[in-house]
Amino acid sequence: MTSQPMQASAEAQPNIALVKYWGKRDGALNLPAAGSLSITLDALHTRTSLRFDPALADDDIRLNGERDAAQTRKIGAFLDLFRARAGIATRARVESGNDFPTGAGLASSASGFAALAVAADHALGLGLEPRALSVLARRGSGSAARSIFGGFVAMAAGTRDDGEDAFATPLLDAAAWPLRVVVAITTRKKKAISSRDGMDHTRDTSPFYRDWVATADADLASARVAVQARDFEKLAHVSEGSCLAMHAVMLSARPGLIYWNAATLECIQCVRSLQAEGTGVFFTIDAGPQVKAVCLPEHAARAADALRNVAGVEDVLVSGLGAGARIIGTET
Ligand code: DP6
């Protein structure tokens, strides 16, 4: 047994993609078909405590206080990647909790696997670089590779078969362009179709899948330029375009994937009205019905008030941009 403490606690925040990831070039290594670009939030957190314990016969994993066989298998397989690097077979106890609704299009898998990667690295004393942590986090969830970093983050699709070049890189610090994100929650129910299943179904059945994947490079290039130049209008244009193109390819799968509800569309119209009156805001929506309105800091209160009054909006969260995944302690 090693002399490491074998335990650690880590915290990570979800990220919201502005140039979307929807499709894989390899399922086994979870390699994205195209790159993506995201912002890491600061107001929503996953906190994960992990302890490798020689007394355990099996991994014991609780997410938001509950054990689930499918999640235990998935997370156990993820921990195997770290156990293999450390040369141990020791089972682990994991407790992870979110302070926001899980599985409702708020990227809980992103913050969850990013926090777990950082905790496992620390607990086992592996001392991995952020880039290597991003590669490993990607194996748990593609979007998790981005939550290793804070602020504006770009994710490369990579070309290598082993996936070692498919990792995220920080583009710009949160403080350098402190945009705000208003999350309009239109339901707290878990989504019916996971991103993973939805992506496979889209690739297998949509006649537009190739065209969708082909849009990514140009969108990424424009979004990078917009971020570097702090050009909000340009970022709004490319982000809404990428979001709507992703939902278009989802809708064109057979049967079509419809992640929106009536309130989702009402929120889009609300953002359009705000834009028409000069508010610095744009929308983006992931594989769920919540609408994220990205705002210039001085316009966030206006957008939050307007979205709170949209029929069907249950709650509104306002977040700034935050830091990447980090250790918060070695106690469990
Ligand atoms: C719509 O990262 O959850 O939020 O890699 O299969 O775990 P897996 O998928 P996941 O997909 C995120 C999809 C998205 C867009 C995005 O975050 O880029």
Tokens standing for residue 130: 């952020």
**Residues 155-213 pLDDT 10s:** 999 999 999 999 999 999 999 999 999 999 998 887 779 899 999 999 999 999 999 99
Q: Residue 331 — very low, low, confident or very high, per pLDDT cuts 50/70/90?
A: low
SS3 20: coil
Percent of the chain with pLDDT over 70: 96
Provide the pLDDT for residue 332.
45
Tokens standing for residue 104: 């409702």
Residue nearest to atom 14 of ligand 1 (CA): 286
Give me the mean pLDDT over the 307-328 stretch. 96
Are the CB atoms for 293 and 271 separated by under 8 Å?
yes
What domains does the chain contain, in order, with CATH numbers?
Answer: 7-172 (3.30.230.10), 180-319 (3.30.70.890)
DSSP annotation of 191: P
Of ligand 1's listed atoms, the one at least distance from the Cα of 30 is: 5
SS3 254: coil
**Residues 105-136 pLDDT 10s:** 677 899 999 999 999 999 999 999 999 999 99
User: How high is the mean pLDDT of the chain?
Assistant: 95
**Residues 64-118 pLDDT 10s:** 999 999 999 999 999 999 999 999 999 999 999 998 766 556 778 999 999 999 9
Using the predicted structure, report yes or no on whether residue 50 has a pLDDT greater than 60. yes
Q: How close is the Cα of 194 to the center of ligand 1, in Å? A: 9
Using the predicted structure, report yes or no on whether residue 4 has a pLDDT greater than 60. no
Predicted TM-score (pTM) of the model is: 0.96
Pocket test for ligand 1, best of 21, 40, 113 (most atoms within 8 A of CB): 21
Tokens standing for residue 296: 């210039």
**Cα 176-182-187 angle, rounded to 5 deg:** 145
Q: How close is the Cα of 135 to the center of ligand 1, in Å? A: 15
Say if residue 136 is exposed, middle or buried (CB neighbours under 10 Å; 0-12, 13-18, 19+). buried
C-alpha to C-alpha distance for 282 and 296, rounded to whole angstroms = 9
